[in-house]
Amino acid sequence: AQTVTQSQPEMSVQEAETVTLSCTYDTSESDYYLFWYKQPPSRQMILVIRQEAYKQQNATENRFSVNFQKAAKSFSLKISDSQLGDAAMYFCAYRVPNSGYALNFGKGTSLLVTP
């Protein structure tokens, strides 16, 4: 079974600084998708960024970028110029191709942004 591990239960960053959230996963597949979702206190799940495994180029969405290391099975999220609104739980997820494309989630990292 595929597993997703987020080793940092909590992280803190000062406003305008950069923070990196870690994620590792285990799979025997060669083609798959990886995601980062944000869950603010409202509990809504918001897609932050998506990476397709066959693409070597790291995905970027404005202030959010990933460092995808396929051989190491690592998928970290970098948030640049952190803002107070970035404070949330962040979940790394792996899309399971043989389970109806459901998502397998890590346990999450709680990000605190300080002024």
Partner 1 sequence: DGGITQSPKYLFRKEGQNVTLSCEQNLNHDAMYWYRQDPGQGLRLIYYSQIVNDFQKGDIAEGYSVSREKKESFPLTVTSAQKNPTAFYLCASVNSRRESQHFGDGTRLSIL
From candidates 31, 43, 56, 72, binder to partner 1 by CB under 8 A: 43
Note every long-range contact of 11-14, with CB atoms under 8 Å and residues 24 or more positions apart, other chains counting.
Answer: 11/109, 11/110, 11/111, 11/112, 12/111, 12/112, 12/113, 12/114, 13/79, 13/82, 13/111, 13/112, 13/113, 13/114, 14/82, 14/113, 14/114, 14/115
From candidates 50, 70, 73, 78, binder to partner 1 by CB under 8 A: 50
Q: Would you say 99 or 114 has its CB closer to partner 1?
A: 99
Closest approach, Cβ 45 to partner 1, in A, equals: 4
Q: Are 76 and 22 contacting, i.e. CB atoms less than 8 angstroms apart?
A: yes
The burial class, CB within 10 Å (0-12 / 13-18 / 19+), for 115 is: exposed
From candidates 14, 17, 47, 55, binder to partner 1 by CB under 8 A: 47
Q: List the x/- string, 2-41, binding to partner 1 by CB under 8 A.
A: --x----x-------------------------x------
From candidates 29, 55, 107, 114, binder to partner 1 by CB under 8 A: 107
Binding residues for partner 1, per CB under 8 A? 4, 9, 35, 42-45, 47, 50, 91, 93, 95, 99-108
